[in-house]
Structure 1
Amino acid sequence: MHCSDQSMRAISDILSPTGTKLLHLGLKNNLSHPESKLNVENLFQALTHNRYLTYLKISGNNLNDEDMARLSRILTTEESNIITSIRTLSVTDNLISDEGLLTLASRLSDTKSLKHLDVRRNPITDRSKKAMISALKNNVQIERLDLDGSWDTEKFWWLSLNRGGRRALQTTTENNTTVPSNLWP
């Protein structure tokens, strides 16, 4: 079943600030279906006001670089007046290329809640994959990054540091000093 006009209104209402506290939303293969009335712009607009959603799966929906740039702005609160609560984001099997992933990589250090990011099965190259892994150096929140290819060694290094408490060391210590992330290898 694909989203109709009525289901789109229901999703928008649920994601609204006065709506239900929806935690998980999976719209795999829904936004691009010919029978679907769900517009990605409407979904993104609703996300700018939602502070409860922790899991968003919008895989297989022909999302492009422009959509990824918009989603990056939402994740970093540049486009919303609230701090997003999305902890898991899956945008697999879309049309996101290097340009879209590079935009996300440039904003990754500003994401505060994202723990798991899945960008597999998109037409991306090593250039944007390297940028994503490099961005992990400045993001202490992400604990899991799913990329296609053999990037496991370097990716594992930064993600295990994050899981191991690197973000705790960046918080204020007893004498009100901080340990900046650029001191890490």
Structure 2
Amino acid sequence: MLGKQTVDTLKRLASEGPQVVSALSWSDDGAKVVAVPADAADARVDLADLDRFSATLRELAVTCHAAPMVPDVRAWLSDHAAATIRALGFLEEPLAVWELEASERIAQLRSSPPHRDESEVTYWEVVLHCADQPSATLARYRWAPGMPERERVEYPATFALIGRMAAALERALTCEA
């Protein structure tokens, strides 16, 4: 459901303009931030640009409404990390757990192996948060020797792909993958 809602909202934004999408705001750095509410989860799509069928994605975040019963945080993070890896199997590079920190209630997944272009590395990163409302963020990053730190890169994607990513994150957070 969240995937379809996300696609429909992006299509409305592209065809009818920002005045019809009430959940649209702008960030301090000029990104368009689109909130997409659905029954079980909400999505937040940060965009740098948009045309009729595609957008330049900066970050996708999905937050579930339900508070899970979590007697074992490490097990919850492990189960949902595995579900996320399965659900996002269509990305360019497969994901693997990079870090799982039960005390901080997060799991970080990254492309494994990342895309390499000479000395530059580009990869997907998903961060799962085990909280009252479980959430996940998805973004693409780049790093090269000599850079002080990695940088988030904008990713051109069709509305359908962004919707598919949102649906995959929702399924992974609810372990329906």
Larger fraction in helix: 1
Structure-1-length-normalised TM-score? 0.28
Larger fraction in strand: 2
Q: Which structure has the larger Rg?
A: 1
Structure-2-length-normalised TM-score? 0.28
Q: Which structure is richer in relative contact order (CA contacts within 8 A, separation 6 or more)? A: 2
